[in-house]
């Protein structure tokens, strides 16, 4: 009950306490509407998100495997030691997660910025370009994965036909041990660059024209105006875009699992941390080990988010 | 530059001479811009178009690279997918799960977002938004534990609950930035006129928030429709959603490409049609909160 009287609810009480607490439900609910409104969602989140997290933490300290009904033993940090010393699957997966996220993010932000600048000023046919930008964004990732599987098929795919027209020999794409990760990065760039474009475009349209105009009057050319005026002003929006896209890129699962299946292919060539953790849990039922991987993965995500938020605060000043 | 301008001016009609001519780099940029925009559109649309084409081809035609663009279209793939593979059931499942999880999330999320926005409950908001960051697998393991012990895996209830973990934080996030932008004065004047604060929320704020709720609802529906991982683990044979159904399509030895592309088209087309009609909302939802500090 003491929570309900938190200082935040002061505005509702400022009219003065009604004489009686009981009986008058309407007055009571008005006074406590802050928690009345927020509580259901908070409880939902608490029970079904915070509790699983705590449970994952607990599982990561046990040898749980096989059946979910099997008895488990507490084994301390053993799972973490196993995972952290695993140079066969875990560390390569960390590397692939970082490569996937890093390369995809750089491509998406650079391409996204270019496309957003192209779209910035109004033009004829703008409506159609906007539709084209929206379509990849809403397409079901699994279906997108299947679509690219056909396009990148080494024998019948459109990608190799296209390369053939300009005289480049066919590539193995998804089925190649070295090319698979790059191909999945390409898919991610295709699907999510539009997201970056939309965010950056919203940022560009909210910019005031004055600094740009002033620089133009002073004789700055387009490149100078972009690098010295627009880009610094866009920095906070850019970091938001990187943050949102980065979190999702780290957690990419659908297109990887849809194109390469269990374990990220027979040589684990696209096995990122998320795919690895999923495989440990639901293909091999190693719940204890996978929980340890997940906790480490979660720490990586939180860590990178924290770094970016710090950067954003520094930029905003 | 002046030479070029003069040269252009002499060729132009008398009326145009009154207007100031754009300098050459600007005109070059315009040409470049058109070319670049066409390239962008092609890059984004061509793969989808290819998928659509393949869905109307027989498997023999798909293997024949000479028939890339010109072939005699067949509806056989769609007939197979919809009838033999029971896709109507999966379409219904996907729709039902997306619809119910979105509706429930709106009921829970909108008042919560309102409270968090009006009382600046930053820490509570952070807890809800955490859900956007947590990898889905780390939620799935405990849920799977609990729900399989309750023997509930494969039921709609479980699937809907799991989709709400994506939908609820999304709706809270979008609605918070929407309520932040609604002026407080409207509610205050309603309260001066005698409405209670909950009354003001119900009669003034909610009707004004229809656009925001539509935005949040549409996005949440799309995310739920597209969700793959939760349904992969938590759905059973009778509650399977479309993304899982497509995934199962390729677990056989040889891939029926025509059928697969028809199935992929069946999943993406409804969502794209929704997106076309609600474009404005989707864009505002996806970019909500991105441009302010």
pLDDT value at position B254? 73
Whether A92 and A155 share a structural domain: yes
Residue A80 belongs to some domain of the structure: no
- Count of structural domains within chain A: 2
pLDDT value at position B43? 93
β-strand partners of B235: B154
β-strand partners of A62: A74
Residue A72 belongs to some domain of the structure: no
> CB B111 to CB A287 under 8 A?
no
Whether A136 and A244 share a structural domain: yes
Whether A46 and A187 share a structural domain: no
> CB A41 to CB B45 under 8 A?
no
pLDDT value at position B292? 55
Report mean pLDDT in 10-residue bins for chain A, 317 residues: 39 44 68 80 81 88 80 84 90 94 96 93 85 92 93 88 87 88 95 94 88 87 88 89 90 91 85 92 88 91 86 77
pLDDT value at position A261? 84
Whether A95 and A187 share a structural domain: yes
pLDDT value at position B9? 42
CATH class of residue range B77-286: mainly alpha
User: Where are chain B's structural domains?
Assistant: 2-55, 77-286
Whether A233 and A291 share a structural domain: yes
Residues B226, B242: contact at Cβ < 8 Å? no
Q: Which residues contact A241 (CB under 8 A, 6 or more apart)?
A: A109, A112, A195, A196, A199, A200, A203, B290
Q: Which residues contact A306 (CB under 8 A, 6 or more apart)?
A: none
Whether A160 and A18 share a structural domain: no
Give the integer Cα–Cα distance in Å for B175 and B169: 10
pLDDT value at position B69? 76
User: Helix or strand or coil: residue B5?
Assistant: helix
Question: In 3D, which of A7, A9, A8, A12 has the Cα closest to residue A26?
Answer: A12
Give me the tens of pLDDT residue by residue for chain B, a chain 293 residues long.
344 444 444 444 444 444 556 677 778 888 888 899 999 999 999 999 999 999 998 888 887 777 767 778 888 889 888 887 788 999 999 999 999 999 999 999 999 888 888 887 777 777 766 777 888 888 888 888 888 888 888 889 999 999 998 898 889 888 988 888 888 888 888 888 878 878 888 888 888 899 999 999 999 999 999 999 999 999 888 889 999 999 888 866 578 888 899 999 999 999 999 999 998 888 888 887 676 54
Substitution target in A9, A45, A174, A303 with the highest count of B β-carbons within 10 Å is A45
pLDDT value at position A11? 43
pLDDT value at position A317? 67
Cβ pairs bridging A and B (under 8 Å): 294
Q: Which of B111, B139, B228 sits opposite A142 (nearest CB)?
A: B228
Q: Touching check for B69 and chain A: CB below 8 Å?
A: no
Q: Which residues contact B54 (CB under 8 A, 6 or more apart)?
A: A150, B62, B257, B258, B261
pLDDT value at position B125? 74
Q: Which residue has the tokens 């199935």?
A: B263
Taking the complete model, does pTM exceed 0.80, yes or no? yes
Whether A168 and A214 share a structural domain: yes
Count Cα atoms within 13 angstroms, Cβ side, for A288.
20
Whether A28 and A149 share a structural domain: no
Give the integer Cα–Cα distance in Å for A120 and A113: 10
Chain A residues in contact with B132 by the CB 8 A cut-off are 247
Give the domain range for residue A12: 2-59
> CB A258 to CB B138 under 8 A?
no
Whether A30 and A131 share a structural domain: no
């Amino acid at each position: 009950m003491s929570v309900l009287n938190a200082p935040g609810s002061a505005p509702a009480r400022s009219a003065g306490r009604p004489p009686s607490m009981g009986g008058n439900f309407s007055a009571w609910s008005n006074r406590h509407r802050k928690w009345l409104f927020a509580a259901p969602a908070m409880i939902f989140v608490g029970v079904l998100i915070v509790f699983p997290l705590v449970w994952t933490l607990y599982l990561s300290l046990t040898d749980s495997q096989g059946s979910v009904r099997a008895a488990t033993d507490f084994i301390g940090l053993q799972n973490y030691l196993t995972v952290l010393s695993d140079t066969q699957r875990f560390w390569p997966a960390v590397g692939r997660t970082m490569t996937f996220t890093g390369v995809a993010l750089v491509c998406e932000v650079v391409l996204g910025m270019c496309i957003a600048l192209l779209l910035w000023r109004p033009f004829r046919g703008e409506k159609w370009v906007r539709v084209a930008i929206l379509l990849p964004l809403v397409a079901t990732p699994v279906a997108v994965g299947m679509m690219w599987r056909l396009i990148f098929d080494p024998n019948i795919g459109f990608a190799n036909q296209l390369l053939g027209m300009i005289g480049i020999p066919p590539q193995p794409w998804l089925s190649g041990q070295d090319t698979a990760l790059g191909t999945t990065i390409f898919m991610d760039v295709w699907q999510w660059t539009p997201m970056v474009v939309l965010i950056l475009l919203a940022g560009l349209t909210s910019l005031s024209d004055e600094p740009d105009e002033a620089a133009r009057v002073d004789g700055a050319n387009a490149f100078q105006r972009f690098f010295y005026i627009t880009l610094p002003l866009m920095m906070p929006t850019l970091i938001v875009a990187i943050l949102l896209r980065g979190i999702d890129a780290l957690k990419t699962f659908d297109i990887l699992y849809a194109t390469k299946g269990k374990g990220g292919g027979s040589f684990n060539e696209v096995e990122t941390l998320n795919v690895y953790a999923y495989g440990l849990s639901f293909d091999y039922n190693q719940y204890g080990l996978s929980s340890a991987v997940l906790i480490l993965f979660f720490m990586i995500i939180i860590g990178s988010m924290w770094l970016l938020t710090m950067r954003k605060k520094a930029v905003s000043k | 530059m002046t030479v070029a301008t003069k040269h252009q001016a002499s060729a132009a009609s008398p009326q145009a001479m009154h207007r100031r001519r754009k300098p050459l780099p600007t005109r070059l940029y315009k040409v470049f811009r058109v070319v670049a925009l066409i390239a962008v559109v092609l890059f984004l649309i061509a793969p989808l178009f290819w998928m659509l084409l393949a869905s109307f081809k027989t498997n023999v035609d798909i293997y024949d690279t000479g028939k890339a663009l010109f072939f005699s279209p067949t509806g056989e793939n769609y007939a197979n997918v919809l009838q033999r593979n029971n896709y109507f059931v999966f379409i219904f499942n996907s729709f039902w799960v997306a619809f119910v999880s979105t509706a429930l999330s709106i009921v829970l999320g909108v008042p919560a977002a309102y409270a968090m926005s009006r009382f600046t409950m930053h820490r509570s908001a952070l807890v809800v938004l955490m859900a956007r960051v947590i990898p889905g697998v780390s939620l799935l393991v405990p849920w799977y534990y609990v729900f399989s012990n309750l023997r509930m895996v494969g039921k709609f209830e479980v699937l809907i609950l799991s989709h709400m973990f994506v939908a609820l934080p999304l709706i809270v996030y979008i609605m918070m930035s929407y309520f932040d932008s609604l002026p407080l004065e409207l509610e205050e004047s309603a309260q001066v006129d005698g409405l209670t604060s909950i009354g003001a929320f119900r009669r003034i704020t909610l009707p004004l928030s229809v656009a925001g709720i539509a935005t949040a609802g549409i996005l949440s529906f799309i995310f739920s429709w597209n969700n793959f991982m939760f349904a992969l683990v938590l759905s059973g044979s009778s509650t399977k959603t479309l993304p899982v159904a497509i995934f199962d399509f390729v677990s056989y030895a040889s891939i029926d490409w025509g059928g697969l592309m028809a199935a992929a088209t069946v999943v993406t087309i409804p969502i794209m049609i929704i997106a076309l009609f609600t474009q404005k909302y989707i864009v505002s939802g996806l970019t909500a909160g991105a441009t302010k500090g």
